[in-house]
Copies of this chain bind each other. A is one copy, B any other.
Amino acid sequence: MSEQAYLVAEEAAPIETGDDVGVRWRTLTSADRTPTSLLTSGVCEIEPGGALNLHRHPPLELYYFLAGTGIVTLGGEERRVRPGDTISIPGNLPHGIRNDGTTLLKLFYVFPVDSFDEVVYTNL
């Protein structure tokens, strides 16, 4: 375990993208790239009309919504979300987010693992 305190300014973390349209994220803590342990975190932005498609991964994940509105799919349910909403997603539960609003949707996410490379995604 790292014993180093670590501070990062969000805008200093590189923007990452994948296959999902209108979705980008920045990794804030992940032991494969930051001197941190135990928690892997970042911020994700979804443009209006964009969606983080339905997926699952073995680790649990926590979302804290920062800005915008959208619809989260959790297993077979859909829930409308807005800033201040917090969702705990059990490991392997299918989940996704779509931004059906007119402004950027932004959320903070965290996994109880050292590093993002431990989070193996299965797209559904």
Contacts and interface: CB of A to CB of B under 8 A. Distances in A.
- Interface size on A, as a range, is 35 or more
A64 B64 CA distance: 10
Q: Within the oligomer, what is the number of copies of this chain?
A: 2
A5 interface: yes
Contacts of A8: 85-86
A54 interface: no
A25 to B, nearest CB: 13
Given A84-B10, A85-B10, A112-B112, A75 B41 contact: no
Interface of A: 1-11, 28-29, 34-39, 41, 43, 60, 62, 64, 66, 72, 74-75, 77, 79, 81-82, 84-91, 93, 95, 108, 110, 112
Given A10-B84, A35-B88, 4 more contacts: A3-B93, A5-B89, A9-B82, A29-B88
